[in-house]
Amino acid sequence: MGIVEVAVEGRVATMTLNRPDVLNAFNTEVLQALLGELHTVGHRDDVGAVILTGSGEKAFAAGADIREMKEKTPTEARAFAELGQMVTSALERIPQPVIAAVNGFALGGGCEIALACDIRICSETARFGQPEINLGIIPGWGGSQRLVRLCGLGFARELIYTGRMVGAQEALEWGLANAVYPQAELMPKVREMAEVIASKSGIMIHYAKTCMNRALDQDLAGGLRLEADMFGLAFSTEDQTEGMEAFLAKRPALFKHR
């Protein structure tokens, strides 16, 4: 069993963080393994959606491994932050949407990894938080940036300044979670959503993801230009032809993802 298990069924890849004895905490080895798997899956044309979860029922990921972090020098700590940011950036940039199946604690780096996913579906036992302040540090893998963008400045400040945990229902109310299900229903519901996404045109999902990612780092005019460019580019693909022909013929589209 690897520290990051990958299983592909149909057009859905499931990545499972596999360190249940330490609540799937991230150390350098896990981050490097996850980065490698994301790179591999991101280049697979036969994968249309990705599920990311943690092994066991207690945690998605309880954060970075404190035992490894404790003795780092400032230079080593910066490099560790940059490695974590490489992983969160990879989650955003791979062509396929990534759904975080949050099956318990998503704290610190675990919360930051979840924030970088396209969608977060959680169990009723899920707990989110950025408790770095309690350790005398701050978020280092994008929490101060993505939490603000996702939930607003006020809520982000509260969580990061206090280090408190947020339950599943509160996470849903703030838009930190997209949906909440009983633990036993979590993976079937996530799988159902992933299969719906994977049934669409993979190239159009990629175009849409690119436009939405860029919406966060440019002004509206620039975003609209990009959207118009990608919309026009869509009309050069086989999937646009198939999608519209299928609609007019009142039949399901059979996308070729090109």
- Chain center to CA of 108: 14
Q: Give the contacts of 157 (CB within 8 A, at least 6 positions apart).
A: none
Bin 102: left if φ > 0, else alpha if -120 < ψ < 50, else beta: beta
Give the dihedral sign, CA 83/112/179/93: negative
Active site residues: 112, 132
